[in-house]
Structure 1
Amino acid sequence: MPFAILIFAALIGMDQWLKVWSLAHLQTDAFLPVVQNVLSLILTFNTGAAWNLFAGATLFLAVLRMVVGLGILVYLWKDKPRGIAFGSLLLIAAGAVGNAIDVLWYGKVIDMFYSHQLFWITQKMYGQPFPIFNIADLCVVSGTVLLVASSLFTSKAEAKTRVSGA
């Protein structure tokens, strides 16, 4: 578990460092290309969740994120799940706490990653832009995707074992 705490702290540290850097070096009205026509940086603020859902519920969302993130850490400490489940939950916890820290420190979440392709796809499909995001968001989304994928994979493997072993 000490290694997991180190990873948890490193993810939050990278997230917070990039947010501080973004506040110092980015503007809200100018893109800084990272990979031309693929990924850019731009400073934005969010007082809600993805796509600015629940805008204005900033403090409630911060408390919820902190409770979820720390609750997951307690679960990992006590129950010690293994493999992908452990890593997935660790990513989700770090992302939740990272965005909660923003709200408690700045009063809003700081976002900076702009994906040109994702923006174009969601604009064409739904008439809505893809949200600008940060490292904490990447942790939550990748952890959730890994957790869902592993649970689907595990369920199929367990079912196959039960059928062949019966």
Structure 2
Amino acid sequence: MLFAIDFLIILAVVVVDQLVKFWVATNISMDAVHQVIPGIFSLTNIRNNGAAWSILEGKTTFFYLITVVALVVLLYFLYQTRGHWLYQISLSLIVAGAFGNFIDRVRLKYVVDMFQLDFINFPIFNVADFSLTIGVIVLFIAIFKEDRLES
């Protein structure tokens, strides 16, 4: 039963990610910035050929390889953690984020990013990136919680 929930989390995040990216790509001009909350949050449309802050820009083959390896390892861990709901939620979010950006890289050769925090110097990100980040935070919580239980 829980494995079905993992699949639903992954599917929901990937679908939302792809829909938001499609909406942004069709409704916001490239590099245009639309303030949503002035001084705090904007929507923009950029193409990211690298990772955060455009590091490793243009290394598409590297991203293909590392993502496939990461997805295989993550799916293995997801299977191995059946019954540990916090691990499964975290890994499902991480898988969804990795897969959402992988779809862009395969289909477009770049990742569509759109969420811009105007009050700090932070990379523009997308739903998949947000899912990855939340997944990693939840994973740290799960590990910390497990370590406390074992102590």
TM-score by length of 2: 0.89
Q: Does 1:93 align with 2:95?
A: yes
Contact 1:66–1:96 (CA<8 Å) still a contact in 2? no
Q: Please, which of 121, 128, 151 is the counterpart of residue 143 of structure 2?
A: 151
Q: Does 1:27 align with 2:29?
A: yes
Contact 2:41–2:116 (CA<8 Å) still a contact in 1? yes
Determine which structure has the larger helix proportion and give its number. Answer: 1
Q: Quick one: structure 1 residues 20 and 66, their matched pair in 2 at CA, closer, same or farther if it must change by over 3 Å?
A: farther
CA shift for structure 1 position 2: 1.7
Deviates more, 1:75-84 or 1:10-19: 75-84
Q: Residue in 1 aligned with 2:46?
A: 44
Q: Quick one: structure 1 residues 78 and 132, their matched pair in 2 at CA, closer, same or farther if it must change by over 3 Å?
A: same
Aligned residues: 149
Q: Residue in 2 aligned with 1:134?
A: 126
What SS does the aligned partner of 2:124 have? coil
Q: Quick one: structure 1 residues 29 and 54, their matched pair in 2 at CA, closer, same or farther if it must change by over 3 Å?
A: closer
Q: Residue in 2 aligned with 1:162?
A: none
Q: Quick one: structure 1 residues 149 and 3, their matched pair in 2 at CA, closer, same or farther if it must change by over 3 Å?
A: closer
What SS does the aligned partner of 2:123 have? coil
TM-score by length of 1: 0.81
Q: Residue in 1 aligned with 2:56?
A: 54
Q: Does 1:7 align with 2:9?
A: yes
Among all aligned residue pairs of Structure 1 and Structure 2, give the percentage whose two residues are the same amino acid: 32
Q: Distance in 1 between matches of 2:123 and 2:74?
A: 25
Q: Quick one: structure 1 residues 81 and 52, their matched pair in 2 at CA, closer, same or farther if it must change by over 3 Å?
A: farther
Deviates more, 1:75-84 or 1:97-106: 75-84
* AA matched with 1:26: I
What SS does the aligned partner of 1:114 have? strand
**Larger RCO (alpha carbons 8 Å, 6+ apart):** 2
Q: Does 1:102 align with 2:115?
A: no
Q: Quick one: structure 1 residues 157 and 75, their matched pair in 2 at CA, closer, same or farther if it must change by over 3 Å?
A: closer
* AA matched with 2:115: F
CA-based RMSD:
1.7
Runs of 4+ in structure 1 displaced over 3 angstroms?
A: none
